[in-house]
Structure 1
C-alpha cells in the first residue's frame, strides 16, 4: 500500500472501526472516564482487514478457549499464527502499518494505550523521553491476559471505583510493556521507603473525604502534587496495598459498621458507602470477608 493510501484509524470512533472490522464493538470504555487507556470487547466473523495503523498502541487479547488460525503483517512482514490455548496476545504499536486475517468467528478484546500516557510513565520510571514498543505476533503472556480480562470485566459491571481500578491496571500494564516489549533494556528505577508521613496523611485524608465518589489515581496524585506512577508505587510501599485496594477496604469497613449499627437495607448501605448497587457491594464484601452483607448481619 502506498503512503498516500495508508489508513490511520481511531477506534474510539465507530465509523473508523467499521473501516477495518465488519461489526462495531459489543462494549467499550468510552463513557467511563478512564485515563490513558481504552478498552473494547468484540465478536467478529472470519475476516481480512485492510492495511492500516492505529493512533494508539493496541493489545489484542484473544479468548484462550477457542483455537483460531490467523495471519498478521507488520510493515509488510507476514507471519502465520494461532490464537487460543497458549498464545492469546498480540501487540500492535501506534503508527505501525498492520494487517490481519483469521479463519472463524471469534471473541476478543482490544486494549488501547495512549502513546503520551506510556511516555509519561516511561519518564517517571526510567527517565527516558522517548519509548518505542516492539510489534509482537501471537504469543503467550498470562500477565497481560489477566489484566485484559480484568479491564473487560469492568465494561460489564461499571460501578463507582471503576476509574481507580482502571488507573491501577493502566499503570501496571504500562510498566509491563516498557519492561518486556519496548526498546528500553535497562532495569526500571527503584524507590524505597514509601510516602513521607505528611503526604501519606494527606492522601488518606483525601480518600476518606471523597470515599463515596468515583475516585481516580490521577485525582489523588494531583492533590499530592505527585505523578500517578510514584504516588501508586510509594502508597503501596507505605501501607502494603494499592490505592484501589485501600479504597475498597475502607468502603467495606464502613458497610460493616452500618450493617452492625443501623437497620438500613443493603441497597441503601451500598449507596451510602460508594457502590452503585447492592450487587457491587456484595461482590466486594465477599472478597474481603468471605461472606455476604446479609449473612454478615445475621451472624451478629
Structure 2
C-alpha cells in the first residue's frame, strides 16, 4: 500500500486512545494495514473523520457497549464481545463512544483494506470496475470473516515474520468476501467523496495537536495541506464536519478532559496547556462544550 493509504488509516486510528500492541509493516502487507489495540475501558465522545479505505474492527477480547451516531444525531448502541465486528465505509465523519467491562481487557483488531485491492475484488465479483458501496455493519458476527482475520492476526504476531504470499492470499480472500457479502454497485444516491486526501488530513491534525497551546491561525494549516485558506477550510469541513477553528476547540477539550481525569495539575495550568491564557475563558469554553465546569468535571469539592 502506498504511504498515502497508510497515512489515511493512521489518521483514523491515531484519534482513538489506547495501547497499540502491534502494527503491520513491510512489503508483506501491501494494500493492507492491520493494527492490534488494547483500548481504554471508557471513551467519551470521539470524532472519527471520514477516510477512503474501508475499515473492519474485530473484537479480540473483552466486552463493551459501543455507541455510534452521525454528528449531533441520536446515539445507537450495540453490546459487543469477542468475535463481533464492525465494518465502516463512512462517507461522512461520525462520533463514537464506548464503555467496556473491566473484568478483561478490551482488545480489538483494526484492518484497513487498500482501495487497489478492493477494486480488484470488485472486478472479480461484479465483472467490471464500477464504483462499489460496502454497507456499514455494527456488532455482527461472520464466521468466514473471523476465519480470515485470525490467521492475519497470527501472522502479525509471528516471531518468524509474516509470509508475504500467505498474507496477500488472505487479503485477496478477505476483499472478495467483503464485496460478495456486503458490497453492491453504487446507486448514485450517495454523495461523492470530497474533502482532504487522507494523508493530508493526518498531517494537518498532527500539526493542530502539536500547537494546542498556541493561538489558532488558519494559514499554517492551509500551507501544510498545500491549499489556499478558502479551499482548505472547505475541504477540511467536508472531511470532519467542522470548520478548522471548531475542530481545534474539540481537540483542546479532549486534551483538557484527559488532563483533568488523569492528573492533579491546577486548572489554570491545564487551561494554559490547551491555549487559554485566561482561567475564566477556559472555564467558559469548557462549560459550553461539555456542559459542566472544569472543577465539576474533575469532581473537586
Give the stretch that moved more between structures: 48-57 or 104-113.
48-57
Q: 5 Å matches for 1:270-285?
A: none
Cα distance, 1:124 vs structure 2: 2.8
Pairing of 1:57-96 with structure 2 (within 5 A): 57-63=54-60, 65-73=61-69, 76=73, 78-84=75-81, 88-93=84-89, 95-96=91-92
Q: What RMSD in Å do the two structures reach over aligned CA positions?
A: 2.5
Given that residues 56 and 115 in structure 1 are in contact (C-alpha distance below 8 angstroms), is that contact kept between their aligned partners in structure 2?
A: yes
**2:227 alignment partner in structure 1:** none
Mark the structure with the bigger radius of gyration. 1
User: How is 1:132-147 mapped onto 2 (pairs within 5 angstroms)?
Assistant: 132-147=133-148
Residue number in structure 2 paired with 1:23: 18
CA, structure 1 residues 25+160, in 2 after alignment: closer, same or farther (shift >3 Å)? closer
2:182 corresponds to 1:181:
yes
Question: Measured at CA, do residues 161 and 44 of structure 1 come closer, stay the same or move farther in structure 2, by a change above 3 Å?
Answer: closer
Measure, in 1, the Cα distance between the counterparts of 2:185 and 2:118. Answer: 13
1:50 corresponds to which residue?
47
**Unpaired segments of 5 or more residues in structure 1?**
1-8, 186-300
Aligned to 2:94: 98
Work out the number of aligned pairs and report it.
Answer: 172
Q: Could you tell me how far apart the structure 1 residues matched to 2:111 and 2:134 are? A: 14
Q: Which moved more, 1:142-151 or 1:167-176?
A: 142-151
Higher relative contact order (CA 8 A, sep 6+): 2
Contact 1:12 1:30 in 2 (8 A): no
**Alignment map for 1:1-40 (pairs within 5 Å):** 10-12=8-10, 17-18=13-14, 20-23=15-18, 25-40=20-35
Does structure 1 conserve the Cα–Cα contact (< 8 Å) formed by 2:156 and 2:162? no
- Partner Cα distance (1:33, 1:62) in 2: 23
- Name which of structure 1's ranges 103-112 and 90-99 shifts more when overlaid on structure 2: 90-99
Unaligned 5+ residue runs, structure 2? 1-6, 187-301
TM-score (norm: length of structure 2): 0.51
How far off its partner does 1:72 sit? Answer: 1.5
